Amino acid sequence: MACQRLATARLKTLTGVLVMSGTVAMAADKPTPTPTPRAAGGQSLNEVAKDKKLKGDLAGSSSGSIVITNENLSDYASKGGLTTANPGKNPGTRGVHAGTNVSVIDSETSEENKRKHYWQQKYMQQLDRIASIKSQIKDLDLEIPALWNEFFARDDPMYRDGVIKPKIDRSLQRREELATLLQQEEPKLAAIKEEARRDGAEPGWWRDIKEPTPRPQNPKTGPGDAIRLDDRGSTEPPK
């Protein structure tokens, strides 16, 4: 009986040793899991946190968008999460981060746009001035013959010499002044282009500028009314 108990105890001990050995062997054979690599362009948890902080700053602004220049780029970059992207249709701006409306505007491009606007405005103002002078000359060319017709049609010499003739004289004088002024103003267009060229203007800056539309005729204007009282004796076109 004692021998049987001793044999049973040995069998249990041997069984336990075999089970433990198998468990250790299975654990040794199981490969160590390899961490999944992060996809290219992905964000770490730290980067996501920085990105959230930047978006929170954007949401707090009144317009929901900000413009970053070369001067304040370092300040926003210090907040984290700013990455540049390929330029879009406008070469003067660069996207900063996908999913946001933050853009960087090059100071050089901004200055060029200001200069372009300045020279285009100056050129268009000169075009308007020349168009105004030409329009007044055209009005006088129609008015002066009508005044002469009225002068010869009147039988009253006092009315002809006291009313109509002064209108004719003023119109002729004004016509001569405007013709002289036109000769002075037209060459200024080429001078403006030359000044702009020395300032870095490109030929394409002038292609979008259209000639000003001539002002419509005033149906209420009668003979002699092309010259207003405050314009008489002035070489400047009426405003």
Is residue 149 over pLDDT 60?
yes
Is residue 183 over pLDDT 80?
yes
Is residue 237 over pLDDT 50?
no
Is residue 3 over pLDDT 70?
no
Q: What is the Cα 31 distance to its own chain's centre?
A: 60
Q: Do residues 58 and 65 touch, judged by C-beta distance below 8 A? A: yes
| pLDDT tens sequence across 19-61 | 555 554 555 555 565 655 555 555 554 564 555 555 555 545 4
Residue 43 CB burial class (10 angstroms; 0-12, 13-18, ≥19):
middle
Q: Is the pTM of this model over 0.85?
A: no
pLDDT interval class at 238 (50, 70, 90): very low
Q: 93 by DSSP, 3-state: which?
A: strand
Q: Measured between alpha carbons, how far is 145 from 152 in angstroms, rounded to an integer?
A: 11
Q: What is the CB neighbour count within 10 angstroms for residue 205?
A: 18
Is residue 199 over pLDDT 50?
yes
